[in-house]
């Protein structure tokens, strides 16, 4: 059974989203929450459903893409059970998983190459949470 991955973005991230989705589809079940063109959109309309999918466990992990990566990350992190990390280099994606148990990442399409984006995604999806000393810190992130 393929792992389920949520993906979403805005108009600035559309091209990268499509490239990443195509890259993942052989190995993963990718649930695309949009957007579906380069026409200007409001990113929360796509990020909230993707984050909800991860939050509820319908998707194991999530990938978000916009121009800077900031708007989509801020939106996703409004969800209580989401830990979304802004990743602009592959090493950040590894540390986000290992130390923060990130379950979503955001990618800044306007600031990295397509090849870097693929490497970031690969690192994110192939890295596990280390637990141990990091678990106590992660347990303190949620604020009710």
Query: Residue 99 catalytic?
Result: yes
Q: Are 97 and 127 in contact (CB under 8 A)?
A: yes
DSSP notation for 96-116: HHHHH--SEEEEETTTS-HHH
Residue of 23, 48, 99, 134 with catalytic role: 99
Residue 108, Cβ density class (10 Å: 0-12 exposed, 13-18 middle, ≥19 buried) = buried
The pTM score is 0.96
Domains of the chain: 3-139 (3.40.1400.10)
User: Would you state the pLDDT for residue 143?
Assistant: 74
Query: Residue 84 catalytic?
Result: no
User: Would you state the pLDDT for residue 144?
Assistant: 64
Residue of 31, 66, 79, 84 with catalytic role: 66
Q: Using one digit for the tens of pLDDT, what is the confidence trace for 49-78? A: 999 999 999 999 999 999 999 999 999 999
Give percent of the chain with pLDDT exceeding 90.
90
Q: Chain-wide mean pLDDT for the chain?
A: 96
């Amino acid at each position: 059974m393929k792992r389920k991955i949520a993906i979403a973005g805005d108009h600035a991230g559309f091209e990268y989203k499509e490239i990443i989705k195509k890259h993942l589809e052989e190995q993963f079940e990718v649930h695309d929450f949009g957007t579906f063109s380069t026409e200007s959109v409001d990113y929360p309309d796509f990020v909230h459903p993707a984050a909800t999918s991860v939050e509820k466990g319908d998707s194991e992990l999530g990938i978000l893409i916009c121009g800077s990566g900031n708007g989509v990350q801020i939106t996703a992190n409004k969800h209580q059970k989401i830990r979304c990390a802004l990743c602009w280099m592959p090493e950040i994606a590894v540390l986000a998983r290992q130390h923060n148990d990130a379950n979503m990442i955001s990618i800044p399409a306007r600031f990295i190459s397509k090849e870097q984006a693929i490497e970031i995604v690969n690192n994110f999806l192939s890295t596990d949470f280390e637990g141990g000393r990091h678990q106590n810190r992660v347990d303190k992130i949620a604020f009710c």
